[in-house]
Every structure is written in structure tokens, then in C-alpha cells.
């Protein structure tokens, strides 16, 4: 169920409707749009008595939402969601593309800083780096944990880059939410509903990767889990699905980008590094992702990929990242979009960033 407010509805009227919904025992999700605010209602089993709500001041109409996903849907919020990062010009969603780059894993302060400097210089606004790694083998390198988070916090202070890193469980989530700017939920956890709900209770943006065998509906429903807890800042990420094809590690399904954009207001970015698993395929698929209309890219970059503790084979070199930024900028322009050249931090913002 969805309450659409009138364009001229006041903040107080919106609040009054939310209070009434909560008083009815449901949960209210106010989602401001460019023209007007819609309020999603969740927590109901079956039909809601709509009479009370329709008569309230400032309400335009009350609509039944028949799709299984509600808060992620364009029915509830027509305008594209744009995530903003206070104190900087960095955004995810909207006209500007979000460029996220960095190593698979944070291996050391030296490694992280060397790569961060490169990607910041090449124009990325976000730095990615694994602190907690979900590895197929219990005996493989599992990440540096909090030490890595601290290194990345330093990188933010030094280069102004916003930090994206994965939370693999509740414990890691607490720390990631404390140190990072964007909480990543990995493909293997896309249906770890407990973790999704916990991320939904944080007030940091969540980057949700598509599961290896997730349908479009399952992908959107996973985002719905996060939003249903009140966190509306969700970014989707296509990173390849599992098929019979063996020339790439996964099969990058770029068609999900326009498919998501048709149904949902959430931004969707693409990860060609995991999507192909091969260094020589990252650049062409990155170009293709921008051309298909993705709202950004997340790219693994390593200055010494042969020595990387994880995923070296799919990490591109710094100079390849520069070329990627250049070609993607030109393609973005064809779609009347832009790749902003690096993050600009407002005066005094770096110190206040945490």
C-alpha cells in the first residue's frame, strides 16, 4: 500500500500520515520525490483499511501496490534515487557516474596507499578494498579486518576518496558501518536476510551485489529487505552470473541494468572485474557497462597484480584504469552523462567526514 501526498503537502502533513500509519500498527516509509512525497506502508498482512488515510490532510491518493517489491519500485518513487556524500561532490545515481576503484584486498598500508593515489589521480571518487574476504576455502587469506578499515579511513582523509568495503557478517557490519562510507553486501550474502535487515538498520548507503544465480525479482527483493528496515540508500550491482560459459569466470549480464532501471528508482552499477575474472576483459566490459546505461563501475586495480593475495588475475594495472576512465568518460558523454574527474572535498569537510 502506498500513500501519495499532494505536491504542496507540508512536512507536518507527511509526518501526520506517518504517525497514523504507525498507530495502525504498520510501518511508514516516507520517500520524497522531485514532485511529491510517497509513503510506503509495510508490515501489513493483506488489505489495509484505507479510509482513514485517504481523508487526511495533504493526501492525494492511496494506491494498492500489487508487485512483490514495494519500496524499490518506481510505483512508489518515480524519480531516480541519488545518493549524496556530504562534504563532497561524490554521488551515486543521477547524471554523474560513480567510479569506484581499488584492490580486491587491503594487504598493507603501502599497497593500499599506492593504489589509492593512482585511482584518485585517475579521477575515481570512491575507493574499494576488502577488509573481510568471503573465501571459498577456510584456509585462504581472509583479510586484515579492522586494521584494513583503519587504513581505508586514512585514505579517505588523505585523498578525499569515499570508502566502499564489504561486511561479511554482523560483527564486520558494525565495524564497516563505523569506518566506511558505503557498506558492501557481497554476492554470496545476497540472500542472507539477517544481514540485509541489519544493514537496513544502519544509516549508511548499502551496495548490494547480485547473487550468482539471482533472478531480477530476487535481486530487487533483497534490496527490499534493506529498505523495509528504513535504509533507503541502496545501490544495486551486477557482477556476473553463473552459466555454462567457460571463457569468463562469470557471465556478465548487462541487460539487467535497463531491466532494473525500468522497475526501480535505485541506482545500479556494474563490476566487470568479477563479472569477467580476466584482466584483458575488464576494459571492454567496463565500456559496455557505461554504454548500456549503468550508473557507475566498481573496478579492481592493483599495481602489482602478480603479487596480489586475492583476485590478481582480474585486477587491472593503474595505467589501464586511467585508460578506462578516459574511454568511459567519452562514452558517458554520448548518453549525456558525465564522469566527474575526482572527488572535490568541501573546505573543512575531510576532518568532519567521520
Residues 318-337, interacting with a copy of itself (CB under 8 A) = 327, 330-331, 334-335
Applying the rule CB under 8 A, the residues between 191 and 250 that interact with a copy of itself are 191-195, 197, 211-213, 215-218, 221, 224-225, 228, 241-248
Residues shown for the chain: 354
- 25 touches a copy of itself (CB under 8 A): no
To a copy of itself, the closest distance from the beta carbon of 311 in angstroms equals 16
Q: Which is nearer to a copy of itself, 118 or 281 (CB)?
A: 281
Q: How far is the CB of 229 from a copy of itself (least distance, A)?
A: 8
The CB-of-65 to a copy of itself minimum distance in angstroms stands at 11
Among 258, 307, 344, 351, binds a copy of itself (CB under 8 A): 258
How far is residue 303's CA from residue 320's CA, in Å, rounded to a whole number?
10
Q: Counting Cβ atoms within 10 Å, is residue 260 exposed (0-12), middle (13-18) or buried (19+)? A: buried
68 binds a copy of itself (CB under 8 A): yes
CA distance 119 to 161: 9
In the complex, least distance from residue 131 CB atom to a copy of itself, rounded to whole angstroms: 14
Strands 59-63 and 83-84: unpaired
Cα 230 to Cα 33: distance, rounded to the nearest angstrom = 16
Give the nearer residue to a copy of itself in terms of CB position, either 259 or 350: 259
Given 74, 95, 287, 303, the residue binding a copy of itself (CB under 8 A)? 287
| Residue 289 interacting with a copy of itself (CB under 8 A) | yes
Task: Mention every residue, 6+ apart, whose C-beta is less than 8 A from residue 292.
Answer: 254, 255, 257, 258, 270
Pick the closer one to a copy of itself by CB: 157 or 253.
253
Give the number of C-alpha atoms closer than 13 A to the C-alpha of residue 74, restricted to the C-beta side: 11
C-alpha radius of gyration, the chain, whole number? 20
304 binds a copy of itself (CB under 8 A): no
Under rule CB under 8 A, residue 344 binds a copy of itself: no
Taking the C-alpha atoms of residue 344 and residue 351, their distance in angstroms, rounded to an integer, is 14
The window from 11-19, 28-36, 114-122, 274-282 that contacts a copy of itself (CB under 8 A) reads 274-282
Site string for a copy of itself, 73-112 (x = CB under 8 A): ----------------------------------------
H-helix or E-strand spanning residue 176:
helix 170-179
Query: Is 338 a residue that touches a copy of itself (CB under 8 A)?
Result: no
Q: Minimum CB separation from a copy of itself for residue 34, in Å?
A: 23
- Subset of residues 135 to 174 that bind a copy of itself, contact rule: CB under 8 A: 135-139, 168-172
Task: Indicate the angle between helix axes 256-263 and 279-292, nearest 10 degrees.
Answer: 30
DSSP assignment of 223-252, as one string?
Answer: HHHHHHTT---EEEEE--B--S--SSSSB-
Q: How many residues bind a copy of itself (CB under 8 A)?
A: 72
Q: Rule CB under 8 A: choose which of 62, 148, 235, 257 binds a copy of itself.
A: 257
**Distance from first CA to last CA of the chain, Å, rounded?**
37
Provide CB contacts within 8 A for 45, sequence distance 6+: none
Amino acid at each position: 500500500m502506498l500513500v501519495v501526498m499532494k505536491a504542496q503537502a507540508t512536512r507536518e502533513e507527511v509526518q501526520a500520515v506517518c504517525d497514523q500509519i504507525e498507530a495502525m500498527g504498520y510501518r511508514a516509509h516516507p520517500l520524497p520525490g522531485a514532485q511529491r512525497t510517497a509513503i510506503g506502508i509495510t508490515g501489513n498482512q493483506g488489505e489495509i483499511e484505507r479510509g482513514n488515510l485517504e481523508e487526511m490532510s495533504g493526501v492525494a491518493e492511496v494506491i494498492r501496490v500489487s508487485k512483490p517489491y514495494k519500496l524499490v519500485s518506481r510505483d512508489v518513487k518515480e524519480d531516480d534515487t541519488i545518493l549524496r556524500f556530504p562534504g563532497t561532490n561524490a554521488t551515486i545515481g543521477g547524471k554523474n557516474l560513480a567510479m569506484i576503484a581499488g584492490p580486491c584486498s587491503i594487504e598493507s598500508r603501502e599497497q593500499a596507499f599506492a593504489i589509492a593515489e593512482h585511482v584518485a589521480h585517475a579521477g575515481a571518487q570512491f575507493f574499494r578494498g576488502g577488509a573481510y574476504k568471503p573465501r571459498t576455502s577456510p584456509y585462504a587469506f581472509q583479510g586484515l579486518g579492522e586494521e584494513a578499515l583503519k587504513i581505508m579511513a586514512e585514505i579517505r582523509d588523505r585523498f578525499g576518496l569515499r570508502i566502499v568495503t564489504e561486511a561479511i557478517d554482523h560483527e564486520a557490519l558494525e565495524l564497516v558501518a563505523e569506518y566506511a562510507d558505503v557498506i558492501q553486501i557481497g554476492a554470496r550474502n545476497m540472500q542472507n536476510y539477517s544481514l540485509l535487515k541489519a544493514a537496513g538498520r544502519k544509516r549508511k548507503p548499502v551496495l548490494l551485489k547480485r547473487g550468482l544465480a539471482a533472478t531480477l525479482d530476487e535481486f530487487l527483493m533483497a534490496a527490499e529487505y534493506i529498505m523495509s528496515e528504513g535504509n533507503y540508500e541502496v545501490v544495486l550491482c551486477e557482477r556476473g552470473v553463473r552459466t555454462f560459459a567457460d571463457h569468463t569466470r562469470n557471465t556478465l549480464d548487462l541487460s539487467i541494468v535497463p531491466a532494473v532501471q525500468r522497475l526501480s528508482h535505485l541506482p545500479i552499477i556494474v563490476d566487470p572485474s568479477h563479472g569477467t575474472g580476466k584482466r584483458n576483459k575488464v576494459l571492454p566490459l567496463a565500456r559496455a557497462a557505461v554504454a548500456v546505461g549503468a550508473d557507475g563501475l566498481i573496478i579492481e586495480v592493483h599495481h602489482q597484480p602478480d603479487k596480489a593475495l586475492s583476485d590478481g588475475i582480474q585486477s587491472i594495472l593503474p595505467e589501464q584504469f586511467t585508460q578506462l576512465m578516459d574511454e568511459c568518460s567519452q562514452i558517458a558523454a554520448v548518453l549525456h552523462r558525465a564522469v566527474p574527474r575526482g572527488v572535490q572535498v568541501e573546505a573543512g569537510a575531510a576532518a568532519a567526514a567521520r
